[in-house]
Amino acid sequence: MKYRLFLKITRRNALTRLVASLLLFLSLGLVLPVPVRADISDKDATELLTKLGDAMAKIAERVTPAVVNISTTRTVKAPANPFFNDPFFKRFFGERSDGGQKRKVASLGSGFIATSDGYIITNNHVIEGAEDIVVKLANNKEPYKAKVIGMDSRTDVAVIKIDENNLPTIPWGNSDKIRPGEIILAVGNPFGLSHSITMGIVSAIGREGMGISDYENFIQTDAAINPGNSGGPLVNVKGEVIGVTNAIFSTSGGYQGIGFAIPSNMVKNVMDSIISQGKVVRGWLGVQIQPLTAELAKQFGLKDDNGVLLVDVTEGGPAAKAGMKGGDVVVEYDGKKINEPYHFKNMVAETKPGQQVPVKIIREGNLLTANVTIGELPVQTEVMPNVEIDNALRGVSVQDLTDEYRQKMNIGGKDRGVIVNNIDEDSPALGIINKGDIILEISHKPVVNAKEYNKIVSGIESTSDVLVLIVKNGVRQYITVPAKSAK
């Protein structure tokens, strides 16, 4: 039975004031064993605190067996002289060998068992680039070697698996129903301290635009989260997972009262998609959007700034086929009001491809409904350069330029090109071309996709300087990668 809290503090001893403060803080959602009285005694106060402590301990006992310690190793190259590895130095003096050696680096993170047959949830950044992944359970038995089932950098979620059955799990909670102020526990391995538990509240929900991942809808909490907590569960007072911790806001690198977790509903959707289909399937509308400010609303003749503005519509995409146009203002998606671009983006991504969704738009002051058949978001496929390439663009890796990346980087819909997703440390182009640059042309030849890029680059002589048209930080510019840098 739940009791509403009515406190009138008449006694002024320290214990009574402490109990009153704690009960006011912890009253939301918790089942109290006895009614709270205004004339609470020291004995009653002690009993209440004891019962409250027991309740929190039971939650911890319920969830910690399913929380795991994840350790990874990866190989990195550590230059003997960091100066030689500076991109500015390489640009003017080319490659210099300084005898740097490769070494193994170990790191720690957290995770939790999602299914009894060994599927484990953690963060993408915990296992990214790992050569070995070792999982240690709470029972302190021999650790398990884990294999990667799928990784999703866009939400920072990863699924790994160990070969074991009848494992303890944590039930999923509904993150759509959480409210600011609810009590939560964060469980993980901060600084390698296994199965540490911290308590706090939900500070805020729907945090977006943090620049942490592509799809953001974070739960903010004041529960202490430190390095090593990443991938651990955030649980409610029912012992249900309502989030997966993945980031902190800090100027010192440690806890400062602001942590972030990925909502459980988003995590579960990603996990189910990875396990059942081997990849993350997302809905796709084929539009570029931006926030609708008060100034823009006035220019478009709108009464208020509720909604998001369509900047561009992809030719032949789902939105275009449904008659949507640039300049339309989306105010409702599948019966739900739209106010923020990130909210709209997440809703579209979570829609199953092939589903028809009514989208309400305002065009020239008229409210219209477009029935859109949602498509599947194209998967970004990384394409490494041909292994036989021995010219100025050796070691430059690219992927196709997607609509999603155009929106993120505010790139016009007419440009066709490829995104630079990686540059090897020994590439002659390092420091001239950077990760995130968009290549539009090579030697006056248009680069429309990654396949065309490989074809053009593989035909360049090792002695030739290469003229490249790129978009760097939103600005088009021609650059030259000199042949003298190529091996």
Residue found under tokens 């890796």:
397
Instruction: Respond yes or no: is residue 54 known to be catalytic.
Output: no
Q: Identify residue 421 by its one-letter amino acid code.
A: N
Residues near 62 by beta carbon (within 8 Å), at least 6 away in sequence: 239
Judging by beta carbons within 10 Å of its beta carbon (0-12, 13-18, 19+), is residue 59 exposed, middle or buried?
A: buried
d(CA 205, CA 137): 31
Residue found under tokens 């429309």:
448
Q: Per-residue b/e over 219-248, b at no fewer than 16 CB within 10 Å?
A: bbbbbbbbbbbbbbbbbbbebbbbbbbbbb
The single residue of 230, 264, 397, 427 carrying the catalytic annotation is: 230
Instruction: Respond yes or no: is residue 125 known to be catalytic.
Output: yes
The single residue of 71, 107, 125, 273 carrying the catalytic annotation is: 125
Residues near 234 by beta carbon (within 8 Å), at least 6 away in sequence: 184, 185, 186, 219, 221, 223, 241, 242, 243, 244, 245, 261
* Torsion sign (Cα): 451, 87, 252, 408: negative
Instruction: Respond yes or no: is residue 156 known to be catalytic.
Output: yes
The single residue of 71, 110, 156, 397 carrying the catalytic annotation is: 156
Q: β-pairing, 466-472 with 196-207?
A: unpaired
Strands (E), 4-130: 67-78, 101-113, 119-122
- Residues designated as active site: 125, 156, 230
